[in-house]
Amino acid sequence: MTISRRRFMAGSVLAVASGTELVSALASPARAASPPGDVVGKITVGYQGWFACPGDGAPINGWWHWSQDWSRPPSPGNTAIKAWPDMRDLTHGYTTAYANLGDGRPATLFSSYDQQTVDTHFAWMRDNGCDTAALQRFNPTGGEGPTRDAMAAKVRSAAESTGRKFYVMYDVSGWTSMQAEIKADWTNKMKAHTASSAYARQNGRPVVGIWGFGFADDNHPWSAAVCLDVVGWFKDQGCYVMGGVPTNWRTGVSDSRAGYLDVYHAFNMISPWMVGRIGTAADSDRFYTGFTVPDQADCAAHGIDYQPCVLPGDVSARQRAHGDFMWRQFYNMVRAGVQGIYISMFDEFNEGNQIAKTAEHASAVPTGSGLLALDEDGTACSSDYYLRLTADGGRMLKGLLAPTPNRPTPPVVAGGAANLAAGRATSESSHTQTYVSANAVDGDAGSYWESANNALPQWIQVDLGAAVTVSRVVLRLPSSWERRTQTLSVQGSTNGSSFTTLSPSADRVFDPASGNTVSIAFGPSAARHVRVAVTANTGWPAAQVSELEVYETSDLSS
């Protein structure tokens, strides 16, 4: 089983700087060593991609990272996770030994080996301001190697299709013969992925991450000379090398070995590890003074880009404080003038530090599991909340949002739930050219579904994956289109064959003055399949929808 960072880092003692006066919030931003690229000036998320399930086709053929004993399905007594994922956007779920969720749905988990899982994750990144994904690659020479090789190809495909960037980050933890094998792996396997238009580049060079040099524990035993050799080798290959380093890298104490400063200064970018180091907003403020500001100054003095970690907090340890913990970190990093931000992590359900969609309340976690949901502190949060929080943090990093210590992101959008139709399977009565029904659930109001022309009535339909209570549909057209009226009804079905009317046929006005958006509320109804049937359109002789959104609550603003 792969050694996790959490296992060997949890007991580390921090050497926080003492006697340092609080640095002014108005401190001048530090000078960037590099111009904006695919990591400088960007939000990078760590992507594990290390979950598998029996029957998914992965060579590892087990409950990889879901359970302690990978040969047995995960259960409360055989688990490796601290939080439960929201499975509603994923088409493939694998049955576990957990009891059903609180709302009666079966307790299923995803496999990273399913391309649809990776595609969905990268679509979430695209929709929430995550620019680049750092694919974690542990020792690939053992039994996990073939599965990890396949995951690199899946991540590449997802990045290309969603317009995201990705790069390979080697986590060298526990890799005994690392010095020779990491070079061979790059030369023979991973380097080929740099041919992709989606492979991250900085200063014109492909990015490679190396996480783990200089840590003071038995899983990272290499001498400074060995580490320097590896960093230098990658730079000689024309790579821009990002180093995941100990928290105390600059002082060489506590979690950092002494005598490794030359290794750290050899990296093009430095990203100190933070998981397990802080757990409150006050901790973040202390680290801002004792670590972030002096770290940034050291990096600037040596021409190194500084990319500190921001973490959402461990759900099971109740660290998140409905987003205030994470936002304080964003604010502190931006006011320090950092060159980039690394989110730890995107899909780290093992440490509970994931920003990926997560069970939002007790009805979405297995009963009797002991797992907490995002509302554990009494504040309702939508499952995508930490993705949205990341989007706003990225806006602040990029200067699109003025630096503010006050979190601007609401835990729940306008008091309602998330769009249940996003990314779901669709069907249609017809379409013309490339204007297929899937365009109506892709999150892009500029793409759209259009039926066959001069052939009304027509319909478009979305499959929510399971029967849920719905009471609102929002329809959108591209905001630049001229005003038009479509006559339409909304129908629902639990089985996909017999439909009932949720909202009767009526004229719906799409006006650019109101964003070409129509909101249709109706009484709460159980439906898995939601259909919009169009009988007339004053703007074009066809049915047209750019976004079809479905919500559980009727008070969501459009």
The DSSP annotation for 417-435 comes to ---TTTT-EEEES---TT-
| pLDDT at residue 312, rounded to an integer | 97
What residue spans of 337-475 are helical by DSSP H? 385-397
Tally of residues, the chain: 558
Q: How many helices (H) and strands (E) does the chain have?
A: 10, 20
Write out the two tokens for 36: 């904006």
Helix (H) or strand (E) holding 201: strand 201-202
**Could you tell me whether strands 309-310 and 305-306 are parallel, antiparallel, or unpaired per DSSP bridges?**
unpaired
168, 282, 508 from 42: Cα distances, Å: 16, 25, 41
Beta bridge partners of 45: 133, 343
Q: How many other β-carbons are positioned within 10 Å of the β-carbon of residue 24?
A: 9
| pLDDT at residue 551, rounded to an integer | 86
Local structure of 6: helix, strand or coil:
helix
Please check whether residue 306 is in contact with residue 296, taking contact to mean a CB–CB distance below 8 angstroms.
yes
Please, which residues have CB within 8 angstroms of residue 176's CB and are 6 or more apart in sequence? none
This prediction has a pTM of 0.74
| pLDDT at residue 8, rounded to an integer | 40
Residues 125, 122: Cα–Cα separation, whole Å: 5
Sign of the torsion angle spanned by Cα atoms 501, 505, 511, 513:
negative
3-state secondary structure 312-334: CCCCCCCCCHHHHHHHHHHHHHH
* Prior bond of 457 cis (ω within 30°): yes
Q: Which of 533, 520, 534, 529 is nearest to 471 (CA)?
A: 520
Please check whether residue 323 is in contact with residue 393, taking contact to mean a CB–CB distance below 8 angstroms.
no
- pLDDT by residue for the chain (558 residues), tens digit each? 444 443 444 444 444 443 333 333 333 444 568 999 999 999 999 999 999 999 999 999 999 999 999 999 999 999 999 999 999 889 899 999 999 988 888 999 999 999 999 999 999 999 999 999 999 999 999 999 999 999 999 999 999 999 999 999 999 999 999 999 999 999 999 999 999 999 999 999 999 999 999 999 999 999 999 999 999 999 999 999 999 999 999 999 999 999 999 999 999 999 999 999 999 999 999 999 999 999 999 999 999 999 999 999 999 999 999 999 999 999 999 999 999 999 999 999 999 999 999 999 888 899 999 999 999 998 889 899 999 999 999 999 999 989 999 999 988 875 455 888 988 999 999 999 999 999 999 877 789 999 999 999 999 999 998 888 888 898 999 988 999 999 999 999 999 999 999 999 999 999 887 778 888 888 888 999 999 999 999 999 999 999 999 987 533 333
Write out the two tokens for 521: 């509320």
Write out the two tokens for 348: 């780290």
Please check whether residue 123 is in contact with residue 443, taking contact to mean a CB–CB distance below 8 angstroms.
yes
Sign of the torsion angle spanned by Cα atoms 187, 190, 196, 200:
negative
Please, which residues have CB within 8 angstroms of residue 244's CB and are 6 or more apart in sequence? 169, 171, 209, 210, 211, 212, 271, 272, 273
3-state secondary structure 49-101: CCCCCCCCCCCCCCCCCCCCCCCCCCECCECCCCCCECCCCCCCCEECCCCCE
For residue 292, what is the DSSP state? Answer: I
**Complete domains list, the chain, with CATH:** 31-411 (3.20.20.80), 425-551 (2.60.120.260)
